[in-house]
Structure 1
Amino acid sequence: MEEKIVLVLNEMSEYLTIPQMKKLQEVIIKNFAENEVEKTNISNDEFLKMFLAAKQIEGCSERTISYYQTTVEHLLSQTNTNVRKITTEEMRDYLANYQKRNNCSNVTVDNVRRNISSFFSWLEEEDYILKSPMKRIHKIKTKTVVKNTISDEGIEKLRDNCKEKRDLAIIDLLYSTGIRVGELVNLNIDDIDLEGRECVVYGKGDKERRVYFDAKAKVHLKEYIAERHDNNKALFVTLDAPHDRLKISGVELRLRRLGRKLELERIHPHKFRRSMATRAIDKGMPIEQVQKILGHSQIDTTMQYAMVNQTNVKTSHQKYMS
């Protein structure tokens, strides 16, 4: 900071008289010193609270904010240094020790790196630090794992073994729209247009988008809504009174239990989203349209979901290369 003040004074010396220069120096030092004292008095915990408040205003979900909080709190618990003075070397040591101590994968460590980077980037944007210590710590290389999707046979097994109309409607809506489980549980009955087979959902950052469902989903949604006798505006509610809005954990638990019962590999809500994207790509839907349906801001994210079916790759190879 002192070096910058000297540079400013040197540059202005050509244009100001000596008394003016002295006054300028006095004002700069006074104001910058006061500002520095104010920043120095802010504790690490206060910086974290301000960061989380900023993320909440930006529209981040409770789950995302909780993840930020847990990650940064762990970092702060491992250091006595004020965040304004943490160096790149200290952060490299922290990440290396984190991985060694927890015996976790590169994917997990990179998620930690990304969350901490967001925290320090915010500090930089708000002028609490000159430069984030995470800028020179790049993305940690990870193996690209082709994640499985739910097969057509698996979907039919899930449908055939649903004892509740609600669960059948959930499965069909997830599979045909590719919406996130958080978007699913936030839906209200009024958000659903059964005749138009479409609904409006609010994704990350409360971004509104329209998604579409198939005829099976329409039939099962209609049957489920018709059997409801509660006054809750939520589309999906608990089976037992007082019929509260269904939570994310409720959907996850229900699908996981059904999948285990049928001996299907790891059935969870996000797998329906990936399956929908892969199926759409395999059937020839342009990737840009899949991106819009899924609500991704970057097309690279869509490509990660849309793992092309290996059988189709083999068929194409035989068609074009034989």
Structure 2
Amino acid sequence: MYNASIKTEIINNIIFEMSGYVDNMTLDIMQKVIEKQLVAVNMEEITNLPAEIRTSTEEQNRYYISLMMIKKKNLRPETKAQYRDAIMRLTSVIEKPLNKMDEIDIDSYLDWYEKRNVAAGGKKNQASTCNNERRYLSAFFTWMRKEKFMSYNPVEATEPMKEVIKPIDYFRPAQIEQLREGCVSLRDRAIIEVLRSTGARVGEIPQINIDHVDWATGDIMIMSEKSYKYRLLYLDEVARYHLRKYLDSRTDDNEALFVWDKAPYNRLKKSGIRNAMKEVGKNMDCKVYPHKLRKTLGVNLKDKGTDIGIIQEVMGHANPTVTSRYYAQISPEAMRDVRRRTA
């Protein structure tokens, strides 16, 4: 165990120090070369190991955080940012080395996190928000344990907060019509119809190119944003009509499905899609966001009697419990319909 842990520490230190000079691909190659060279080396024979240079708590914590960001290369940038921000908040409240944290520290921090806005006149964070923070911390400390910086994950000893499952926020048919009326441009209408029909995550839309669309079937093959698996999106006839109308109006030569509405007509990112929908919401005087259209598709599928497994495939949920949790509940419209038929 000693032999392996020293080898791991040396590899980690080299990767950490070199991360500022070479790209991730080179780091991967470097790590494999070092591991290969260290296979036959008995680290117990080394009597004069380099002195520990990261002596302060701040330096130690910076090392752990940076090393995770380097080594967890398969994580999405947004996920990395969530982990990093949560850990940095933790270290700003609990001023001790991360590898010395225990469940009491985590409990104390999560209690602070729940009430962090109260002193400024705000409200407590919701249970779901606190549980998300707890999940980010747990992911980090699980990595710390696997890297042998700690013997256990202190977050596992803390209990998640009990969440109140709220009714799904989705658009009713009349609201969809209002949403359409709130569109002032062909692009906005096309965005609304594509999100409504496909139920895609907002982060999955920017990757789509015009030639990815099968206009005969309405199929679009994409790489799922979360599971990194290919899945099929479907554009119904209404969505295809308004998307084609938008594309025919464009004068640029960008291959992207959606672009800026002004020169230089760059590919529209998810922040641009959100902003476009906010503008539509202002015209309607209500809150409009991409995920609400995604949830609308899920509810519509459920109300039409679609099997929960099919809904999981359409929505691209890697975990079936996510689908069951959100779409097992019956919508008010479906409930009223059942009551009318059984009265």
Q: Give TM-score scaled by structure 2 length.
A: 0.78
Q: Look up the equivalent residue of 1:233 and give its one-letter code.
A: E
Deviations 1:24-75 (A, max 9, x none): xxx89778996996998982111111222333x22x3322222222111111
Q: Deviations over 1:148-194 (max 9, x none)?
A: 21111111122233221111111111001100001012211122111
Structure 1 window deviating more from structure 2 (291-300 vs 97-106): it is 97-106
Which residue in the other structure is 2:313 paired with?
292
Matched, 1:249 2:249: no
The Cα of 1:132 is off from its aligned counterpart by 0.7
SS in 2 for 1:206: coil
> The residue matched to 2:251 in structure 1 has which SS?
coil
Contact in 1 for aligned 2:182/2:283 (Cα 8 Å): no
Greater shift in the superposed pair: 152-161 or 207-216 = 152-161
Tell me, yes or no, if the aligned pair for 2:86 and 2:136 is still in contact at 8 Å: yes
Name the CA distance, whole Å, in 2 between partners of 1:51 and 1:137.
23
Aligned to 1:134, the other structure's residue is in SS state helix
- Kindly tell me the number of residue pairs found equivalent between the two proteins: 294
Distance, in Å, in 2 between the alignment partners of 1:254 and 1:232 is 19
| Alignment pair present for 1:52 and 2:69 | yes
Equivalent residues of 2:83, 2:136 under 8 A apart: yes
CA offset at residue 311 of structure 1? 2.6
Amino acid at match of 2:82: Y
Give the secondary structure class of the aligned counterpart of 1:193. coil
Residue in structure 2 matched with residue 10 of structure 1 by the alignment: none
Specify the alignment match of 1:89 in structure 2.
104
Deviations 1:222-244 (A, max 9, x none): 11122222121211001000001
Q: What is the aligned-residue RMSD (CA, Å)? A: 2.7
Judged with a 3 Å threshold, the aligned counterparts in structure 2 of structure 1 residues 141 and 202 are, in CA distance, closer, same or farther, namely same
Point out the more displaced range, 140-149 or 301-310.
301-310
| 1:276 shift after superposition | 0.5
Q: Distance in 1 between matches of 2:262 and 2:47?
A: 62
- Alignment identity in percent? 29
1:101 matched to 2:122? The reply is no
> Do the aligned partners of 2:209 and 2:255 also contact (CA within 8 Å) in 1?
yes
Q: Aligned pair in 2 of structure 1 residues 29, 87: CA closer, same or farther (>3 Å)?
A: farther
* Change beyond 3 A, Cα 1:253–1:149: same
2:34 maps to: none
Matches within 5 A, 1:165-314: 165-203=186-224, 204-264=226-286, 266-306=287-327, 307-314=329-336
1:111-145: CA deviation from partner (whole Å, max 9, x where unpaired): 11110111001111222211111111132111111
Pick one of 95, 120, 138 that aligns with 1:117.
138
Structure 2 counterpart of 1:65: 80
Contact (CA 8 Å) 1:194, 1:222: kept in 2 or not? no
- Contact 1:124 / 1:132 at 8 angstroms: preserved in 2? yes
Question: Residue 111 and residue 81 in structure 1: after superposition, are their counterparts in 2 closer, same or farther (change >3 A)?
Answer: same
Structure 2 CA distance for partners of 1:303 and 1:40, relative to 1, 3 Å: farther
Amino acid at match of 1:99: E
Unmatched tracts of structure 2, length 5 or more: 3-41, 118-123
Residue 272 of structure 1: how far off its partner (Å): 0.3
Residue identity opposite 1:228 in structure 2: R
Which shows bigger deviation, 78-87 or 215-224?
A: 78-87
Does the residue aligned with 1:135 lie in a helix, a strand or coil?
A: helix
Runs of 4 or more, structure 1, over 6 Å off, are 27-42
* Structure 1 residues 229 and 148: CA distance shift in structure 2, 3 A: same
CA distance in 1, matches of 2:71, 2:127: 28
Is the Cα contact below 8 Å between 1:39 and 1:128 reproduced in 2? no
Letter in 1 for 2:317: H
Q: Residue 160 of structure 2 corresponds to which residue in structure 1?
A: 139
Letter in 2 for 1:166: R
Q: 2:183 aligns with which of 139, 148, 162?
A: 162
Cα gap change, 1:33 to 1:230, in 2 (>3 Å): same
TM-score, length basis structure 1: 0.83
Computing the radius of gyration from Cα coordinates, the structure with the larger value is 1
Does the 8 Å CA contact 2:206/2:270 hold for their aligned counterparts? Answer: yes
SS for the counterpart of 1:81 is coil
Q: Which amino acid aligns with 2:209?
A: N
